[in-house]
């Protein structure tokens, strides 16, 4: 029971982080039908922003997080303007290849600017007591950090749902995902809304990345690759295009991964392979995902 | 009616061209220094990778990102077969090698064929689930499968030596093996593309649903293209391993990074053009080596610039993005560099003037 509880919390935490990244994928895919390959790398850049804001500018951890989130949002907006906007009317495959190029570019940019050698994110915190605190819940020893991450993720999700479902720009986003030409006829500035979507998704990725780096403090230019891919799988799992689906998919993926690794320790090394096998199974059994709508292809 | 070269002229020109290339290669192998020769050999290896991925991506329209997985299978299979039993016993430090692999030892040709064959078998097995998907999903699923292969290579320590990789692979990939295999790859792919199968593959690329309605078995054709592409990817993997002499399953060596490199080559050369792939591969290899200078310290108009690691990949990816935005067709588009096309490009304009 204690073991179960411990893994349950770990799974929810990991799942929450996946969910935050997956939302960025799902929003962009819902609107542009584009897999934004660079999303995981935007997360990586966010982590570096936070790292340098705290170590070079010696800002407090909280303030560095704010700087990183704003920086990532700006980066996401710029990527859309520079790389994806010129290709709005091009075949979808061109946009996908460009996205791969952007991902590649960000990784090598990070190598050039920040160096290829991994850095420890713990240097961000002068006072590390909060990281080492452990709470005991029904006998299970659970780091305070886990609760903190789950709490912050929940708060961010509430804010996000408010933006998407209760504000004017959220309504515009949902309208664009239905039909771009009609929405633009209604007087909505489509490009501005798409830019905002990229910024919002990137901000979420950066927030997730910072919490990721608190949990796994090894910061390097390729750190965004795996979480990015898995978050995409989470988005497909939940039904791509659907924000509640991304959250559900993320949390389920995190739980499955942690529990498989916990109860079958011999396959620990293959942990990263689970997600892909899950992806193949989902795509074969229910291609539209858990909460997605079925799309029929026509000639 | 456009004037075309006869089949005979075509054939003779091709034979002359091939003989000329052989002569050039002979000169290169005789007079070039070993570093330049290394790049020349790399061009051929990249060429095989690019042509095989182009068959899958450009000609059949399956947007697969799993090429590195097949290259990895070919590289490991062939290396394990050419390494001598003593070398294997020496390099497997973490865990001893499985007994059924410890004493197998073959020549380079058999090893390369085995590498290609195993890659093809894997492509067949992976193709069954993956090719039922389409578009973006297929891209991600194939990338995922390549990653699964890489993760297996990282963890199946008694077969692959895990993260340490294989060392001391004999440098068998000389200029004749590399260009010989490149010739076989191009010849086979070109004949396939020009056969009725090739037309079906192109039909699948243009519109799979319409092709299906015309009676083409889309799945079967896609699987065929996927398996053949994987076979040559496995072959190129074997050549690559015997060129590198050291292989390991890191992201940057035989992982997604390599797939992206090959993707850059075929996009640069033109998706759907075999000759374009070759040009793209050659350009990439040369550019990549030439840009190495950027990572060395140099003096530019009296300003001293320190060497920055990773700069060349940054430059390459920037070029890649610019190509995608401004010049999506790449160098060749979907055209092929054939004698007929050369003839037309050289003389058509003058002809057109006469008609007026």
Q: Write the DSSP assignment of chain A as a string of letters.
A: -HHHHHHHHHHHHHHHHHHHHHHHHHHHHHHH----TTHHHHHHHHHHHHHHHHHTS---HHHHHHHHHHHHHHHHHHHIIIIIGGGTTS-HHHHHHHHHHHHHHHHHHHHHHH-SS-EEGGGG-S--HHHH-EEEETTEEEEHHHHHHHHHHHHHHHHHHHHHHHSHHHHHHHHHHH-HHHHHHTT--HHHHHHHHHHHHHHHHHHHHHHHHHHS-EE-TTTTHHHHHHHHHHHHHH-TT-HHHHHHHHHHHHHHHHHHHHH-GGGGGGHHHHHHHHHHHHHHH-TT-SSPPP-----
Report the share of chain A in percent with pLDDT over 70: 98
pLDDT tens figures, A133-149: 888 877 778 888 888 88
pLDDT at residue A295 in the model: 60
ipTM of the shown complex:
0.84
Q: At A43, is the pLDDT very low, low, confident or very high (cuts 50, 70, 90)?
A: very high
* CB atoms A116 and B310 under 8 Å: yes
* CB atoms A100 and B152 under 8 Å: no
Chain B residues in contact with A225 by the CB 8 A cut-off are 251, 256
Q: Which of A216-230, A255-269, B112-126, B145-159 has the highest mean pLDDT?
A: B112-126
Q: Does any domain span residue A148? A: yes
For residue A108, the enclosing domain spans 2-224
Chain B residues in contact with A105 by the CB 8 A cut-off are 314, 317-318, 320-321
Cβ contacts from A onto B, under 8 A: 117
pLDDT at residue B354 in the model: 46
pLDDT tens figures, B301-353: 667 766 677 788 888 889 888 888 888 888 888 888 888 888 877 776 655 54
Which chain A residue has the Cα nearest residue B266?
A: A97
pLDDT at residue B1 in the model: 47
pLDDT at residue A294 in the model: 61
User: Which residues of A touch chain B, with CB atoms under 8 Å apart?
Assistant: 33, 35, 83, 86-87, 90, 92-94, 96-98, 100-102, 104-105, 107-109, 111-112, 115-116, 222, 225, 229, 232-233, 236, 269-270, 272-273, 275-277, 279-280, 283-284, 287, 297-299
Q: Does the pLDDT value for residue A20 go beyond 60?
A: yes
Mean pLDDT of A85-100: 86
Q: Does any domain span residue A243? A: no
* CB atoms B309 and A115 under 8 Å: yes
Q: At A296, is the pLDDT very low, low, confident or very high (cuts 50, 70, 90)?
A: low
pLDDT at residue B82 in the model: 92
Q: Does any domain span residue A188? A: yes
pLDDT at residue A262 in the model: 87
The shortest C-alpha distance from B258 to chain A (Å) reads: 11
Which chain B residue has the Cα nearest residue A102?
A: B321
pLDDT at residue A17 in the model: 92
pLDDT at residue A45 in the model: 95
Q: How many domains does chain A have?
A: 1
Q: Does any domain span residue A236? A: no
Mean pLDDT of A111-118: 88
Which residue among B308, B320, B328 places its CB closest to the CB of A104? Answer: B320
pLDDT at residue B349 in the model: 61
* CB atoms A297 and B260 under 8 Å: no
Q: Does any domain span residue A298? A: no
Mean pLDDT of chain A: 88
Q: Alpha-carbon distance A206 to A65, whole Å? A: 8
Q: Does any domain span residue A273? A: no
Q: Alpha-carbon distance B129 to B127, whole Å? A: 6
Which residue among B141, B252, B263 places its CB closest to the CB of A97? Answer: B263
Q: Does any domain span residue A234? A: no
With a cut of 50, list the residues of chain B below it in pLDDT.
1, 353-356
The shortest C-alpha distance from B285 to chain A (Å) reads: 18
The shortest C-alpha distance from A139 to chain B (Å) reads: 34
Which residue among B143, B151, B320 places its CB closest to the CB of A101? Answer: B320
* CB atoms B144 and A276 under 8 Å: yes
Q: Which of A78, A85, A90, A100 should one mutate to test binding to chain B, selecting the residue with the greatest count of B CBs within 10 A?
A: A100
Q: Does any domain span residue A81? A: yes
Q: Model's pTM, two decimal places?
A: 0.88
The shortest C-alpha distance from A43 to chain B (Å) reads: 18
pLDDT at residue B308 in the model: 72
* CB atoms A273 and B328 under 8 Å: no
pLDDT at residue B356 in the model: 38
């Amino acid at each position: 029971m204690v073991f179960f509880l411990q893994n349950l919390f770990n799974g929810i935490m990991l799942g929450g982080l996946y969910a935050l990244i997956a939302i960025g994928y799902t929003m962009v895919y819902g609107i542009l039908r584009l897999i934004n390959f660079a999303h995981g790398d935007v997360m990586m850049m966010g982590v570096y922003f936070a790292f340098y804001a705290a170590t070079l500018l010696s800002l407090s951890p909280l303030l560095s997080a704010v700087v990183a989130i704003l920086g990532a949002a700006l980066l996401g907006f710029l990527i859309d303007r520079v790389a994806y906007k010129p290709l709005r009317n091009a075949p979808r495959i061109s946009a996908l290849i460009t996205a791969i190029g952007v991902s590649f570019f960000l990784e090598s940019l990070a190598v050039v600017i920040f160096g290829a050698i991994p850095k420890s994110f713990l240097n961000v915190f002068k006072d590390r007591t909060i990281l080492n605190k452990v709470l005991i819940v029904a006998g299970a020893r659970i780091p305070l950090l886990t609760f903190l991450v789950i709490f912050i993720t929940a708060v961010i999700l509430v804010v996000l749902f408010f933006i998407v479902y209760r504000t004017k720009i959220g309504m515009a986003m949902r309208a664009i995902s239905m039909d771009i030409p009609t929405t633009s006829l209604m007087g909505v500035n489509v490009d501005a809304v798409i830019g905002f979507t990229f910024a919002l998704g990137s901000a979420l990725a950066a927030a997730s990345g910072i919490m990721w780096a608190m949990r796994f403090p090894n910061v390097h230019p390729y750190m965004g690759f795996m979480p990015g891919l898995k978050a995409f799988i989470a988005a497909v799992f939940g039904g791509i295009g659907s924000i509640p689906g991304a959250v559900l998919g993320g949390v389920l993926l995190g739980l499955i991964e942690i529990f498989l690794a916990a109860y079958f320790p011999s396959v620990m090394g293959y942990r990263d392979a689970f997600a892909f096998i899950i992806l193949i199974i989902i795509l074969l059994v229910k291609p539209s995902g858990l909460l997605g709508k079925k799309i029929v292809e026509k000639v | 009616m456009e004037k075309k070269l006869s089949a005979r002229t075509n054939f003779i020109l091709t034979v002359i061209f091939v003989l000329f290339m052989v002569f050039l290669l002979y000169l290169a192998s005789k007079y070039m220094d070993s570093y330049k020769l290394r790049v020349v050999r790399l061009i051929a290896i990249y060429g095989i990778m690019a042509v095989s991925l182009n068959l899958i991506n450009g000609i059949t329209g399956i947007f697969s990102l799993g090429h590195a997985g097949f290259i990895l299978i070919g590289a490991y299979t062939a290396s394990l077969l050419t390494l001598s039993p003593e070398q294997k016993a020496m390099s497997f430090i973490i865990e001893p090698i499985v007994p059924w692999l410890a004493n197998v030892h073959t020549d380079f040709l058999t090893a390369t064929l085995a590498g290609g064959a195993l890659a093809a078998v894997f492509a067949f097995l992976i193709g069954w689930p993956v090719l039922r998907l389409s578009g973006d999903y297929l891209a991600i699923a194939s990338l995922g499968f390549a990653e699964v292969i890489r993760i297996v290579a990282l963890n199946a320590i008694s077969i692959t030596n895990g993260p340490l990789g294989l060392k001391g692979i004999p440098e068998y990939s000389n200029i004749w093996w590399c260009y010989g295999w490149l010739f076989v790859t191009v010849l086979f792919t070109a004949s396939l593309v020009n056969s009725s199968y090739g037309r079906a593959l192109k039909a699948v690329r243009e519109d799979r649903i319409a092709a299906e309605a015309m009676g083409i078995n889309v799945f079967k054709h896609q699987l065929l293209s996927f398996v053949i592409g994987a076979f040559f990817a496995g072959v190129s993997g074997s050549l690559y391993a015997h060129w590198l002499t050291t292989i390991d399953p890191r992201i940057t060596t035989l992982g997604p990074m390599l797939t992206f490199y090959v993707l850059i080559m075929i996009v640069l050369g033109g998706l759907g053009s075999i000759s374009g792939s070759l040009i793209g591969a050659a350009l990439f290899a040369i550019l990549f080596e030439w840009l190495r200078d950027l990572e060395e310290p140099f003096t530019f108009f009296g300003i001293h610039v320190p060497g920055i690691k990773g700069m060349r990949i940054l430059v390459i990816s920037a070029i890649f993005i610019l190509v995608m935005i401004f010049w999506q067709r790449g160098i060749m588009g979907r055209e092929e560099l054939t004698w007929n096309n050369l003839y037309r490009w050289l003389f058509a304009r003058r002809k057109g003037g006469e008609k007026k």
